[in-house]
Structure 1
Amino acid sequence: MRRPTHLLLLVTLAVAPLYGQKNAAPPPLVEKINVSVVSVDVTVTDGHGRPITGLTRDDFEIEEDGKPQKVTNFYRIENAMAQTGRSEGTIVEAVDQRQFRRKVVLLIDNNFIEKPQRDAALRRLDDFVDNHFAGGYEWSVAVIGHDVENIQPFTDSKVELHHALDRARATPTVSMQREAERDLLSDPSRRGLSELAGNNYDFGETMRFKGREQTLRHLRSTINPGRAVIQTCRAYAAAEGKKLLILITGGMESNTSFSAYDQAQDRNLHDTRLEIEKILDLMTREANSANFNIYVIHAKTRAMQAPQHDVTNRSSGLAASSQNLFQVGGGNAPVDVSDVDSTSLTLALRTGGLYLPSNDIAETFERIDTQTSNFYSLGYSPQHFEDNRYHHIKVVVKRPGASVQNREGYVDLAADDRIESTLRSPITFAKEKGSLPVALQIGLPTRDGSSLSVPLVAATAISNLTIIPREDKYVGRVHVYLSVYDRTGNNVGYHHQIQDVTLTAQQWANARQEAFRYHLNVRLRKGDFVIVVTFRDDVTNEIGSALQNVRL
Structure 2
Amino acid sequence: MQRRIFSGIGLLVLCTLTIAAQQPSPGSSPDTPPPTFRLEVNYVEVDAVVTDSQGNLVTDLTLDDFEVRENGRPQKVTAFSTVNLPIERPERPLFANAPIEPDVESNTAAEGRIYTIVLDDLHTRFTNTPRVQRALREFIEQRFGTNDLAAVVYTSGRTNAGQEFTNNTRLLLAAIDRFSGRNLRSEALEINDALNNRPPGEFATGSTGSGARNPSDLSGIPADPLEFERAQNARNTLTLVQKLAEFMEGIRGRRKSILLVSEGISYDVHDVFANSSAGIILQQTRDTVAAATRGNVAIYALDPRGLTAFDEAIEVGGTPADITPSQFSVTGSLQGSLRLSQQSLQVLADETGGFAAVNRNDLSEAFARIVRENSVYYVLGYYPSNDQRDGRFRTLDVRVKRPGLQVRARRGYVAPRGRAPAAKPAVTSANGESMSPAATTALNSPIPLSGIPLTMFAAAYKGTPPDAAVALSLELRLDGLNFAEKNGTFNNRLEVVFSSVDQAGTIRPGSRHVVTLELKPETLAIARQRGFRVLSEITLPPGRYQLRAAVADQGGARSGSVLYDLEVPDFRRTGLSMSGVSLTSASGAATPTVRPKDPLKDFLPGPASTVREFQRNDVLALFAEFYENIQGAPTHMFDMSTTLRAEDGRVVYENREERSSADLQGASGGFGYGHQIPLQNIAPGTYVLRVEGRSRAEKADQQPLGRDVIVRVR
**Correspondence for 1:111:** 122
The number of residues matched between the two structures is 473
Whole-angstrom distance in 2 between the partners of 1:509 and 1:390: 55
Contact kept, 8 Å, 1:481 with 1:534, in 2: the verdict is yes
**Correspondence for 1:11:** 20
Whole-angstrom distance in 2 between the partners of 1:257 and 1:108: 26
User: Which one scores higher on RCO, CA 8 angstroms, separation ≥ 6?
Assistant: 1
1:456-467 to structure 2, matched below 5 A, reads 459-461=474-476, 463=478, 466-467=481-482
Shift of 1:47: 11
Q: Classify the secondary structure of the residue corresponding to 2:267.
A: coil
Q: Classify the secondary structure of the residue corresponding to 1:10.
A: strand
Contact kept, 8 Å, 1:139 with 1:153, in 2: the verdict is yes
Say which one has the larger Rg: 2
1:164/1:446 Cα in 2 relative to 1: closer, same or farther (>3 Å)?
closer
**Correspondence for 1:62:** 68
**Correspondence for 2:397:** 395
1:485-500 to structure 2, matched below 5 A, reads 485-486=501-502, 488-493=504-509
Contact kept, 8 Å, 2:467 with 2:542, in 1: the verdict is no
Contact kept, 8 Å, 2:462 with 2:469, in 1: the verdict is yes
**Correspondence for 2:548:** 532
1:498-509 to structure 2, matched below 5 A, reads 501=517, 508=524
Q: Classify the secondary structure of the residue corresponding to 1:174.
A: coil
Residue deviations 1:55-75 (CA, integer Å, cap 9, x gap): 955664325698632235555
Q: Which amino acid aligns with 1:247?
A: L
Identity among equivalent positions (%) equals 16
Whole-angstrom distance in 1 between the partners of 2:150 and 2:288: 22
Shift of 1:313: 7.7
1:82-161 to structure 2, matched below 5 A, reads 98-99=110-111, 101-120=112-131, 123=134, 133=143, 138=148, 140=150, 142=152, 144=154, 146-148=157-159, 149-150=161-162
Q: Which amino acid aligns with 2:13?
A: P
Residue deviations 1:131-189 (CA, integer Å, cap 9, x gap): x85958647474635415347975598xx69x939x84674321244757673699596
Whole-angstrom distance in 2 between the partners of 1:275 and 1:493: 37
**Correspondence for 2:302:** 297
**Correspondence for 2:344:** 343
Residue deviations 1:402-455 (CA, integer Å, cap 9, x gap): 6733373799998666545436xxxxxxx74864124568999789xxx99989
Whole-angstrom distance in 2 between the partners of 1:138 and 1:146: 24
Residue deviations 1:63-117 (CA, integer Å, cap 9, x gap): 5698632235555667969xxxxxxxxxxxxxx9945x33444444333223554
Shift of 1:549: 6.3
Whole-angstrom distance in 1 between the partners of 2:533 and 2:346: 50
Whole-angstrom distance in 2 between the partners of 1:515 and 1:182: 65
Whole-angstrom distance in 1 between the partners of 2:368 and 2:470: 50
Q: Classify the secondary structure of the residue corresponding to 2:369.
A: helix
Q: Classify the secondary structure of the residue corresponding to 1:111.
A: helix
Greater shift in the superposed pair: 473-482 or 375-384: 375-384
1:14-413 to structure 2, matched below 5 A, reads 39-43=45-49, 53=58, 56=61, 57=63, 60-63=66-69, 68-72=74-78, 74-75=80-81, 98-99=110-111, 101-120=112-131, 123=134, 133=143, 138=148, 140=150, 142=152, 144=154, 146-148=157-159, 149-150=161-162, 164=173, 168=176, 171-177=179-185, 183=191, 187=195, 193=202, 202-203=207-208, 210=223, 214-220=227-233, 222-223=235-236, 227=240, 230=243, 234=247, 242-255=255-268, 258-259=271-272, 261=274, 269=277, 274=280, 277-278=283-284, 281=287, 285=291, 289=295, 292-300=297-305, 301-303=308-310, 310-311=325-326, 339-360=340-361, 361-380=363-382, 394-397=396-399, 404-406=408-410, 408=413
Whole-angstrom distance in 2 between the partners of 1:224 and 1:457: 38
Whole-angstrom distance in 1 between the partners of 2:84 and 2:114: 17
Whole-angstrom distance in 1 between the partners of 2:300 and 2:210: 39
1:128/1:446 Cα in 2 relative to 1: closer, same or farther (>3 Å)?
closer
Contact kept, 8 Å, 2:495 with 2:515, in 1: the verdict is yes
1:399-478 to structure 2, matched below 5 A, reads 404-406=408-410, 408=413, 418-422=441-445, 432=448, 435-438=453-456, 459-461=474-476, 463=478, 466-469=481-484, 474-478=490-494
**Correspondence for 1:29:** none
Whole-angstrom distance in 2 between the partners of 1:420 and 1:390: 33
**Correspondence for 2:497:** 481
**Structure with higher helix content:** 1
Whole-angstrom distance in 1 between the partners of 2:259 and 2:357: 10
Shift of 1:490: 1.9
Q: Which amino acid aligns with 1:422?
A: S
Shift of 1:295: 0.9
Is 1:543–2:561 an aligned residue pair?
Answer: yes
Contact kept, 8 Å, 1:305 with 1:337, in 2: the verdict is no
Residue deviations 1:39-66 (CA, integer Å, cap 9, x gap): 5212357999x57747955664325698
1:417/1:350 Cα in 2 relative to 1: closer, same or farther (>3 Å)?
farther
Whole-angstrom distance in 2 between the partners of 1:402 and 1:46: 6
Q: Classify the secondary structure of the residue corresponding to 2:353.
A: coil
Whole-angstrom distance in 1 between the partners of 2:117 and 2:490: 46
Contact kept, 8 Å, 1:180 with 1:253, in 2: the verdict is no
Q: Which amino acid aligns with 2:341?
A: V
1:220/1:260 Cα in 2 relative to 1: closer, same or farther (>3 Å)?
closer
Shift of 1:296: 0.9
Whole-angstrom distance in 2 between the partners of 1:296 and 1:477: 47
Shift of 1:340: 0.9
Whole-angstrom distance in 2 between the partners of 1:517 and 1:97: 21
Structure 2 gap segments, 5+ residues each: 1-9, 27-39, 88-107, 213-220, 317-322, 424-436, 572-714
Residue deviations 1:341-381 (CA, integer Å, cap 9, x gap): 34323332343221222425333233334433453332446
Whole-angstrom distance in 2 between the partners of 1:121 and 1:206: 28
1:416/1:255 Cα in 2 relative to 1: closer, same or farther (>3 Å)?
farther
1:260/1:276 Cα in 2 relative to 1: closer, same or farther (>3 Å)?
closer
1:493/1:529 Cα in 2 relative to 1: closer, same or farther (>3 Å)?
farther
Residue deviations 1:279-307 (CA, integer Å, cap 9, x gap): 87358637864x54321112224459999
**Correspondence for 1:330:** none
Q: Classify the secondary structure of the residue corresponding to 2:21.
A: strand
Q: What is the TM-score when the length of structure 1 is the normalising length?
A: 0.60
Whole-angstrom distance in 2 between the partners of 1:457 and 1:79: 31
Shift of 1:484: 3.5
1:439/1:136 Cα in 2 relative to 1: closer, same or farther (>3 Å)?
closer
Contact kept, 8 Å, 2:264 with 2:345, in 1: the verdict is yes
Q: Superposition RMSD on alpha carbons, in Å?
A: 6.1
Contact kept, 8 Å, 1:218 with 1:256, in 2: the verdict is no
Shift of 1:220: 3.2
1:525/1:177 Cα in 2 relative to 1: closer, same or farther (>3 Å)?
same
Q: Classify the secondary structure of the residue corresponding to 1:437.
A: strand
Structure 1 gap segments, 5+ residues each: 18-33, 82-95, 319-324, 326-334, 424-430
Whole-angstrom distance in 2 between the partners of 1:481 and 1:392: 40
Contact kept, 8 Å, 1:445 with 1:453, in 2: the verdict is yes
Contact kept, 8 Å, 2:208 with 2:223, in 1: the verdict is no
Q: Which amino acid aligns with 1:404?
A: R
